[in-house]
């Protein structure tokens, strides 16, 4: 069986546990960091990300209830996705990071990797509590499928690191009445190449200007 965690595009680092994985995140820009590089992260600025990457910063994972739920639900949603798609080969390794060979400051920790015939893809698993129409609109509908912008950027980053062909989102949306729905969204690399190049340009620019030099940004963002 083809091991999707082996590729000429990246090297694979398997950490002994989650704490070691957290320490390893300090050294690169990961998928969840990438939206900060283009001012699209709703919870963190470029300056805040810069502080997290400094040597003196001690990484810690502060998890609210929603984050704890998402972490606990991930393996179950991945298993459901595999059951729904027996035609796909879904692979997963915990506490594992892929580091780009071409851009060694870029890393990605996938929720799963997918083999579909001769095509390779990324599986991104999300959980979200839908509080209002605006939150639901970020996921679109069957006729106009969407994903939240920061999640989209996260997977563009993953495509840069892996060089793979497509992305599939499998998301559990929970509503105020305690009903829940699992939805899927997907896109092909060839359809988003312009967005990939835009993200890559800005990640390289901000990495070289601030992170590689340890020069603190004196503003929140620059394009």
Residue spans per domain, the chain: 10-211
Nearest 5°: phi and psi at 33?
A: -80, -25
Count the residues in the chain.
223
The DSSP secondary-structure symbol of 70 reads H
Q: DSSP E strands: which ranges in 1-160?
A: 10-14, 89-91, 96-100, 107-108, 112-116, 119-130
User: What band does 24 get if pLDDT is binned at 50, 70 and 90?
Assistant: confident
The string of DSSP letters for 26-60 reads: TTSB-GGGGGGGGT--SS--HHHHHHHTSTT----
Half-sphere exposure of 112 (CA within 13 A, CB side): 24
Between CA 151 and CA 45 the distance in angstroms is: 16
Tens digit of pLDDT for each residue in 132-178?
Answer: 999 999 999 989 999 999 999 999 999 999 999 999 999 999 999 98
Tens digit of pLDDT for each residue in 177-212?
Answer: 989 999 999 999 999 999 999 999 999 999 999 999
pLDDT in the model for residue 57: 82
Between CA 223 and CA 209 the distance in angstroms is: 12
Helix 149-162 vs helix 193-206: crossing angle, to nearest 10: 90
Q: What is the architecture of the domain spanning 10-211?
A: Alpha-Beta Complex (3.90)
Give the mean model confidence (pLDDT) for residues 12-27.
Answer: 89
Residue 67 has pLDDT above 90, yes or no: no
Structure tokens, 7: 């590729």
Q: How far is CA 113 from CA 5, 135, 187, in A?
A: 8, 27, 14
User: What band does 113 get if pLDDT is binned at 50, 70 and 90?
Assistant: very high
């Amino acid at each position: 069986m083809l091991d999707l965690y082996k590729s000429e595009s990246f090297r694979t680092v398997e950490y002994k546990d989650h704490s070691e994985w957290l320490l390893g995140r300090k050294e690169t820009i990961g998928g969840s960091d990438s939206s900060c590089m283009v001012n699209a992260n709703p919870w963190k600025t470029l300056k805040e990300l810069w502080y997290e990457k400094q040597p003196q910063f001690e990484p810690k994972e502060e998890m609210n209830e929603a984050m704890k739920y998402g972490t606990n639900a991930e393996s179950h949603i991945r298993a459901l996705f595999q059951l729904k798609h027996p035609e796909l080969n879904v692979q997963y390794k915990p506490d594992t990071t892929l580091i780009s060979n071409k851009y060694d400051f870029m890393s990605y920790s996938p929720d799963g990797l997918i083999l579909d015939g001769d095509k390779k893809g990324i599986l991104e698993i999300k959980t979200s509590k839908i509080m209002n129409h605006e939150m639901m609109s970020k996921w679109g509908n069957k006729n106009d499928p969407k994903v939240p912008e920061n999640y989209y950027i996260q997977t563009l980053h993953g495509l840069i690191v892996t060089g793979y062909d497509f992305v599939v989102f499998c998301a559990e949306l929970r509503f105020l009445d305690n009903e829940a729905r699992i939805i899927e969204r997907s896109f092909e690399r060839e359809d988003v190449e312009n967005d990939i190049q835009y993200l890559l340009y800005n990640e390289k620019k901000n990495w070289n200007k601030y992170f590689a030099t340890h020069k603190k940004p004196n503003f929140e963002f620059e394009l």
